[in-house]
Structures are given as C-alpha cells and as structure tokens.
Structure 1
Amino acid sequence: MKQMQGKINSSVYASMQGQSSAQQIAFLRQLQKEVKVEESLEVPLNELNVVVFDLETTGFFPDQGNEILSIGAVKVKGGKVRYEECFYSLAQCNAELTPEIKQLTGLKEEDFEGAPELSKVLIDFYEFVKGDVLVAHHASHEKSFLQHFNWKLFRTHFRHRIVDTSFILKIAEPDSNMIRLEDCCEHCGISVVDRHHALGDAKMTAELWSVYVDRIQEQQGCKTLRDVYEKLSK
C-alpha cells in the first residue's frame, strides 16, 4: 500500500513526548487526515502492507467502562510476516482486574505499575502503523475500542481500514464453522503460542492472514481488497 503522503518528521513526533494532550490530538488528527483508505482497495494483496494487531481488554464494552490493557502488533509486507517489526505495550489501567481476566491474560495489577497512559500508547501505536491497513481476527472488538477511545481521548474519528481475517476465511473455506483463533491456527498448522497475549495473538493472526491471502489469490481469484469485498457481498 502507498504510504501516507507528507510523512510527519520523526523529530517532530519525538518532541511531543511528555507534552500536552493538545499536541497529541493535533498529531493524531493530521495522521488520520493523511490515511488513504480508498487506495488500499486497489493494491494487489501480495503487495499490500498491513499491520496485524490485537487488543487485550477488561471486557467487551468500552462504552460501559471496559478498558484497553495492552496492544500488540506485527507488520506483514508482501505476504511475509516481519517478526522483527513488532509493537507491544501495556496501558495504564485503573480498574481492578477480575479473576477471569487474570486467568485469561496472565496479567496482574502489579504488571501495570509504571505503564504509560492509554493516550500515549495509542499515539505510539498509530505512529507504528502509519498508513498501513489494519488486520485483526474478529475485528469488531478491536474496532469498537479504537473508535471509542479515539473519540474520548482525542475527539477525532477512527479512520484506518480494518480487515477481519474471518472475512478471508469465509472466502477461502465457505463451509467452515471455525471461530476461535486457536482453532483456525491449528487447522492451518500454525503453532498456538502465547494465546491471549496481545502480541502472541497478533503474530498468530498475521500467520493466518498470510496463509489465507495466498489461498484466496490462488483458488478464488481475489487479487485486491476490492475483490474480497465484492466476493463477500455476493
């Protein structure tokens, strides 16, 4: 995918650290303006640069007070997972973690001592993503949290395109009823490692994306994201 035009100088970004939220808001608004969402529809899938990501959260409903605990992401370029290009951060959490969340994620309250505020984590994450397409497994969860906190923290709308790997699965294997990430990975021979850790889930989802993008290009003739959406609409 074409990178966003008018890249923001990294020194400008660096100078923002520790400064006011007004500058963070200005930075994010400029970044969001330059995201070229429509261009991504025409880029060949085997050339599309994506950032596959995952959120760990305290629940499913950001508008009811659930918080983001961590963000993990890895880049996929030219269909290849770039394990050396990763992002991971905990985010400051003010809520007491439930026993279920502790068991699921392995996180404890003491892990968040000194964790950065969510506003900084999101800015760092978007700087990592830049203009790439975002990919997530059952992405409605991630999208709802990013939409909510973008508006709450920055008063700006979330503009990145997010592609759901479950859409790709529907095209590649229309009769499949697999839902869970670990089931999809095991079906494709992908090792399940660090499940329910944001970066671990992001890496597994990236491998899944790579496998299924190859399949839909070879077997279904889907060459671009536009082809994917047209196939799903039928």
Structure 2
Amino acid sequence: MFWLRKSLNCPLDESQPLNTPLEQLNFTVYDTETTGFQVATTDRMIEIGAVNMKGMEVLDKDTFQIYVDPNRTIPNHITELTGITNEKVEGACKSLYGIEQFFDFVQKNESVALVGHYVEFDLMVLKHELRREKLNFKKPHAIDTLDLIGFLAPAWDMRELERYAMAFGTRIYERHSAIGDALTTAYLFSELLRLFRDRGYDSWGELIKEADSQSRTLSF
C-alpha cells in the first residue's frame, strides 16, 4: 500500500483572466534566509520576509516577517552575513508554522504570483521544509526578477540584487535580511513592470509569456 502525503500549497488567485491589466494585479514579493545553500539536506530556513504589491505600487506598510527555529546551529559566517544569531531564533516558531503564516499573508492579498530575485531558490527552501514535515508542495506560479531583466535587458548578466537595484535606480534596504531583500526586490520589480509597460506590454498574459520565455528554473 502507498501512503499519500498531504499537500500544503500556496493559495494564489488563479481566477484572473490573461487580459487583466498589470495595474489590477496583486503580487507578493518574498525572500528567505537560510543556514546555507544545501537546503535539501543539512541547511534550514531561518527567516521569511515579504511585502505585497498592487500593480506597480509597493505596499511597504503591508509586510510580513518571521524568524524560524532551524533546529541546528547557525554558522558564524551566516550570522555575520545576515545578522541572525542563534539567540535570535531560540524559541522562534517551527518552519511549518512560519510557512502557514506566510501563506495566510499571501491569501489575504489575493496575489496572482510570488515574486523574488532568483526565486527558484526560495521555492526550493519552502519545498524541502515542507518535505521534512511529510507534506507535498506544488510549485506555485512565480516570477523571477532575473527573468524579467533577461527579457528587458538581455545583455546584462549579473546576479547580485543590490547591483541591479543600483542600475535601475530603485531603493535598497538592509541586505541579507529577508524583509530587507523582499522590499528591495519589490521596488526593483515595480520599475521593471513600468519598463515592461513602456515597451507596449500591459497584461497578465504578456507578463507570464515574456517572463517564462527567459526562465532558468531549477529542477523542482
């Protein structure tokens, strides 16, 4: 007999027609911090940060941030990078609760997609945290700012969020903080949407098509 795992999936609004104007769409921009990059094995999530958007407007008062107990020691170099200490996550919530609270935040915004800078990594973080809880996670619709930049400025081949924010003249918040990087990414995404619209594109379907055309997804 095969035991089917239960699922916990991101509650996105999938009812929006493809011709919906960009200004009428809601997005949730998010980021995670972890103890390292080996999230399928030894490394764990320590923070989730997110901010909601209405079209091209960043709702910078509508944010979400939560620390997570990784059930392991945070390496010194990660503490130096993120400012997150073992003491800061001591007594913090477990990853499942943190993800459930994040999904509630997404649902209340009626978001059509998650947005991130190299968002595939952050999706993998959620997937493997849920797998440890014996829960399946269906990959939600997500937009990577790197893919949108690949469409708008294909000659650019950087990865660093701060460098892109500087290049596009957008706000920069505290780096290597999940909420700080989420806010920085949101303002970058806002500018990218404006440039996308200036190119003559104005619908949800066009955004999906052109962002997906540049997709550099990881195996999920």
TM normalised by structure 1 equals 0.80
Give the deviation of 1:164 after TM superposition: 0.4
Spell out the pairing of 1:185-200 with structure 2 (5 A cutoff).
Answer: 185-200=165-180
Kept in 1: contact 2:49–2:63 (CA 8 A): yes
What are the Cα deviations for residues 22-64 of structure 1, in whole angstroms up to 9, with x where unaligned?
xxx98x74x65x6444747543222210000000011122211
Gapped runs of 5+ residues in structure 1?
Answer: 1-24
* Partner of residue 181, structure 1: 161
Name the residue aligned to 1:155.
135
- Structure 2 residues without counterparts, runs of 5 or longer: 215-220
What's 1:111 paired with? Answer: 88
1:223 paired residue number: 202
Distance 1:152 1:223 in 2: 40
Residue 35 and residue 185 in structure 1: after superposition, are their counterparts in 2 closer, same or farther (change >3 A)? closer
**Can you list the C-alpha shifts for 1:190-216, whole angstroms capped at 9, x where unaligned?**
232210000000000000000000101
Contact 1:35 / 1:159 at 8 angstroms: preserved in 2?
A: no
Distance in 1 of aligned mates of 2:79 and 2:27: 30
Aligned residue pair count: 206
Match of 2:115 in 1: 135
Structure with the largest fraction of helix: 1
Answer with 206-215 or 141-150: which moved more.
141-150
Cα offsets for 1:101-147 (capped at 9, x unmatched)? 01110111111122111111111000000141110001111011112
3-state SS of the aligned residue for 1:92? coil
CA contact (8 A) 1:37 1:161 kept: no
Code of the aligned partner of 1:170: G
Q: Which ranges of 4 or more aligned residues in structure 1 deviate by more than 4 Å?
A: none
Q: What does residue 218 of structure 2 align with?
A: none
Q: How far, CA to CA, are the matches of 2:152 and 2:54 in structure 1?
A: 21
CA distance in 1, matches of 2:192, 2:120: 19
When normalised by structure 2's length, the TM-score is 0.84
Query: In 1, distance between residues paired with 2:28 and 2:42?
Result: 27
1:47 counterpart = 2:24? yes
- What residue number does 2:76 align with? 99
**Quick one: percent identity of the two aligned structures?**
27
Q: CA deviation at 1:229?
A: 4.2
SS at match of 1:63: coil
Q: CA deviation at 1:80?
A: 0.4
Counterpart residue identity of residue 49, structure 2:
G
Which residue does the alignment assign to 2:102?
125
Secondary structure of the 2:170 match is: coil
Q: Which amino acid aligns with 2:43?
A: N
Q: Does 1:73 align with 2:53?
A: no
Q: Secondary structure at the match of 2:30?
A: strand
